[in-house]
Structures are given as structure tokens and as C-alpha cells.
Structure 1
Amino acid sequence: MVVRDPLAEPSDLIRSVSRALRVLESVGRAPKGLTVKQIARRCELTVATTYHLVRTLAYEGYVIRREDGTYIVGLEIADRYRELVGAFRGPPAVGESLRRAVLDTGYSHYLGRFVGGQVAITAATEGPRSPYLEDLVPGFDEGAHATALGKTLLATLTTEQRLRYLRESGMRPFTTGTLTTTEAFEADLAAGERRGMQLELGQYRPGVACAAVLVSADKDVERRVALACALPASEMMTSARVVRAKLLATARGIADYLVDDT
């Protein structure tokens, strides 16, 4: 859930739009559905105001009224999500590059970059030889400190910027192997720089490894792109050099497509 800073509220804030979005967020967090009264209570709105907002959202397709009178998220949300994923991923050739990498290796591949100052997964293509990671889908990556993708992007920041990011995001221990101190994290990044590839072994999920390389090192933070793949930790132990070579080859191709798209 987004935590809004009341001091940053714009002077020209449109209250009705803000309330409608709060309603949509509340419905989205309740997969079993909510009645108008429940939505009103959660959003701290009057029932009458909530009723008008819900009717408008239903008309536009963003919520659906079920026979029992509860509301759930509508299909328009899925359409907006697909558009967001497409915008994140970039030109079609980028998606094709990921699919070719998956066919070649069998491993799931991911792209990521900074969005609004936060590490975000921007594209994901599943591979049959990789463990399924339900959290690694396009969207914000809350485990940037525990994934190779996140490490690769964070390594492009200055030390001060990186420490501020970790301080604000926290260093949640996903497994017993997760790095939870900035000292350990900085040492791990340095090892990755020497290796030419950031790695994590069981830091995000037990028995799963992830490797990542930088695709684009643009001066603009939000144009920096990283490529990663996930595989069983046991395979990473024996195939790290091959994984690195294939990641770098795929990254070079993607970089060319990103340049052509600018």
C-alpha cells in the first residue's frame, strides 16, 4: 500500500479522483469482494459518496458488482496492467530476446530498472528449468537487496544513494542467507563487480539462485536496465561461467534494441 506524505499533497488535488482511487485500492485488496458500506468504512467516506464513486467505477469497468451486492476489481484493471507491462518492457524485440534466452537455457529471465526511485521488475519470461517464483512479476521489487537483479541496479548508485535506499526500504530477511547489514551487502556488491556478474545463492528463496548483469548504464538513473535469470542453486554452482556468458550476450542484444527505441 502506498504511504502518502500529507505535506506533499498538491494544492490543486482533485478530491473526487483521490477518493475514487482509494475506493479502487480497497476493493483490490479484498479478493472476496466488499459491499458499499464496507468500502465506505475502509475509506472513511460517507455511504452516499461511496455509492456514487462505486457506480462510476463500475460504469467504466474498473469494478464489477456481483449478485450478492459486493464489488470486485473489474477487467479494465487487467487491461491497464498489460499496458503498463508493455511500456515497462520496451519494444517487442526486447520481449523476443527474453523468449530466445529462455528457449536457449530453460531458465526464467527478468528485466528490471528504477521506476520512481524504486527497483522494479519490468519484464519476466518463465523458463521450465527454473523454480517458480510467484513474487518475481512485473512491479516493484521489495527484495532488491536479496536479488541479483536488485543488486545490479543498486550497484550503479553512489554509496550514499545506495545506503539511503536500503535504509528506507529495509533489509528484510527472506531466508537465513539474506544479507541484512549494509556492511555485508557492500562487500557482496564488490565481489560481484570483480566477478562481472551479481549473484545470490538462496538469499531470496531457499535452493534458488539468481544472476544478473547490467544492460544499460545510462546517466539517467531511470534508464538503467538490468537482466537476470533464476535457476536452481545447485546448477549455479557448476555453471556460473556459462550463465554469465549467456547473460552478457543477451544483454548486448537488448541494449541495441533499447538504443534503437530512443
Structure 2
Amino acid sequence: MSVQLVHVEAPLPAPFDAMTHDADIAGESTEYIAGAQRRPSTNAASRMIAVLDTFGGPLGVLGVSDVALAAGVPKSTAHRMLGILLAQRYIERVGNRYRLASRVFELGSHVSGLRRLRDIATPYMTELHRETLSTVHLAVLDGPDVLYVEKIFGHGGPPCPTTVGGRNRAHATALGKALLSRTSVDLVHGLTHDGRLDKTTPNTVGSVSALLVQLSRARDEGFATETAECRPGLSCVAAPILDWNTGRPIAAISVSTSAGHVNSARFRQRVHNASQLLSDRLTSSHALC
């Protein structure tokens, strides 16, 4: 079973003990522009990647000045590289601005590991949506973030402004907490340099020490919850999808609904059941190898 999908290379830790480790530490409006804090690139290849990466945020359509600022390159360099990407069909022009084009979508569809994960999980997600009538997400851990791999929703649930391929900070989401509860304490401490965590909303957990308490509980209970930490008015319950052979997380599945509803035992049990079925399926079939 390949677990590189979640980008976690640390060895599986012992169960969290929040008292022992107390020394330090769902939408487009909370997803951020990729590259906004990027350092200046030093060669042509890295500058080109930096320019392309700027389109990974929620804004989607960017001008030359936006790209230059986010990529950390001179405006003239951004203009020249945008011209190359335009000629190769990686971006397209919208007036005097640019957005990603179909060639990027085509390439992204060939990310085999994530595609297989999504294809295997979709029937389980569809059934979970039918049972709960709420938005269902599938995500993997990527650095300090969760990366959304699939999303299933209907007409009746509350708006949940997340996007497939979008990101949110792992510590602010139930998906991220479910995944982090099965990773190393060192990785959790690596989310910050000073013991504080970025707050997406006033309710977002603000310190690693408080996060570790939540992760310890999530590991014991088999699921994680959050209320209005990622998006005001929304709550979420998530459970990790595990490789039973190693205990490592492959992905996480969640249900998002109006704040307050997520504490229902019905929601928690159905999400947990779906994660167990997917763990069985992925471990037994070695489907992502």
C-alpha cells in the first residue's frame, strides 16, 4: 500500500498524551493564494513553476501584477512567462487577465494515486451523502494543509464553499484533525514555530497544546469534530481512512452541516462506518499501489 498520498513520512507514533506534549503547542474565503508568501525564485524553471502556482488559490483569474507579487518575480518576468504558458495552453486570457486552461485540468486528471483514491471512495461518499443529506468531503494531508480530493453535495444542505483541489489549514478542519491524530507529534509541532496557530475564524484552535488535546480525543474516539473553526456557521465530523497494515492515514472522509448538528451520534457513527469500510477496501486490495 502506497501512503505517499498524504505526504507523511514520520514513523507512526504512540497514542497522543496531551499532558506529556503540552510544552508548545470549510471555503474559498478561507483558502489562500498559493505562493503569496513565496521567496524570490533563483532560476528559470523555479520561476516558471512559481508563476504557475499562483493560480492555485481561490481567485482563479489574475493580472500580471498579481502574478508577479505572488510569485516573487519582476513584472517583466511574469509577463514573459505568462506568454509561454499561454502559448502552451496551460493558461488562457480573460480580458487583460489570465486563468488556468484545459491543459492543466487534463494533466491533473492523470494523477493516478489520487484519481484511484477518489474513484474507490466515491460510492461510499455517495451513500454517506444519501444517508445524511449533507456535504461529504474526501481529503488528504499535504504539508500543513488538507487537500480536497472529492466533494459530494446536494441542493438541501447549507452552502459549503470548498473546492476540489482547494486547501484549508489542517488544524482548522475536522478532516485535518482526523489525519493529524494518526501522525507524529513532531509533525504537529511543525505546524508552527512559536506555539501559535493561524486562526481562520475566532473559533479556530489557536495553540498546539490545545490542538494536541483535540487530537488525543480524536485518536481515542476514532473521529474528529470542529464547529465554526474553518467557516462560520458550519460544523464537521471526520474520520481517518487507514492502512491497517501500518496504521498510517491514507485520507479522511467527512460530513459538513450547519453548526450544532454535527454532534449528533447519527452523523458520527455513519462517518466512522464509512471510514472503516474504506480502510478495509484500500488495505485488502492494495488499490493505491
Q: d(CA) in 1 for partners of 2:258 and 2:232?
A: 9
Q: Counterpart in 2 of 1:78?
A: 105
CA drift of 1:27 comes to 6.8
Q: Counterpart in 1 of 2:158?
A: 131
Letter in 2 for 1:256: D
Structure 1 counterpart of 2:74, from 41, 44, 54: 44
TM-score, normalised by the number of residues in structure 1: 0.75
CA drift of 1:201 comes to 1.9
CA drift of 1:69 comes to 5.9
Point out where structure 2 has 5 or more consecutive residues left out of the alignment.
1-33
Q: Counterpart in 1 of 2:231?
A: 205
- Secondary structure, in 3 states, of the residue corresponding to 1:43? coil
CA separation of 1:183 and 1:120: change in aligned 2, threshold 3 A: same
CA drift of 1:209 comes to 1.2
- Secondary structure, in 3 states, of the residue corresponding to 1:133? coil
2:241 equivalent to 1:215: yes
Give 4+ residue runs of structure 1 displaced > 6 Å after superposition: 27-30, 37-42
2:172 equivalent to 1:172: no
Post-superposition Cα deviations, 1:147-190, rounded to whole Å, max 9, x if no partner, equal 11111111112323312224489622233322212222222223
CA drift of 1:251 comes to 1.4
Q: What is the number of residues matched between the two proteins? A: 248
TM-score, normalised by the number of residues in structure 2: 0.69
2:260 equivalent to 1:228: no
Q: Which has the higher Rg, Structure 1 or Structure 2? A: 1
Post-superposition Cα deviations, 1:30-82, rounded to whole Å, max 9, x if no partner, equal 866546x99779732657x954x44432232112346x665443332333344
Letter in 1 for 2:282: L
CA drift of 1:205 comes to 2.3
Q: Counterpart in 2 of 1:24?
A: 52
Point out where structure 1 has 5 or more consecutive residues left out of the alignment.
none
Post-superposition Cα deviations, 1:83-139, rounded to whole Å, max 9, x if no partner, equal 459825615231122122112211111122223575333222224443222135433
Report the identity percentage: 20
RMSD of Structure 2 on Structure 1 (CA) = 3.6
Q: Counterpart in 1 of 2:270?
A: 246
CA separation of 1:166 and 1:119: change in aligned 2, threshold 3 A: farther
- Secondary structure, in 3 states, of the residue corresponding to 1:130? coil
Structure 2 counterpart of 1:152, from 164, 178, 183: 178
Q: Counterpart in 1 of 2:208?
A: 182
Q: d(CA) in 2 for partners of 1:125 and 1:111?
A: 9
Per mean C-alpha deviation after superposition, the further-off stretch among 204-213 and 54-63 is: 54-63
Post-superposition Cα deviations, 1:224-253, rounded to whole Å, max 9, x if no partner, equal 32211111123224x2x2112211221122
CA contact (8 A) 1:110 1:121 kept: yes
CA separation of 1:138 and 1:169: change in aligned 2, threshold 3 A: farther
Q: d(CA) in 2 for partners of 1:44 and 1:55?
A: 14
CA contact (8 A) 1:85 1:122 kept: no
CA contact (8 A) 2:136 2:153 kept: yes
CA contact (8 A) 2:237 2:256 kept: yes
Richer in helix (by share): 1
CA separation of 1:127 and 1:192: change in aligned 2, threshold 3 A: farther
Q: d(CA) in 2 for partners of 1:122 and 1:169?
A: 29
CA separation of 1:127 and 1:258: change in aligned 2, threshold 3 A: farther
Q: Counterpart in 1 of 2:280?
A: 256
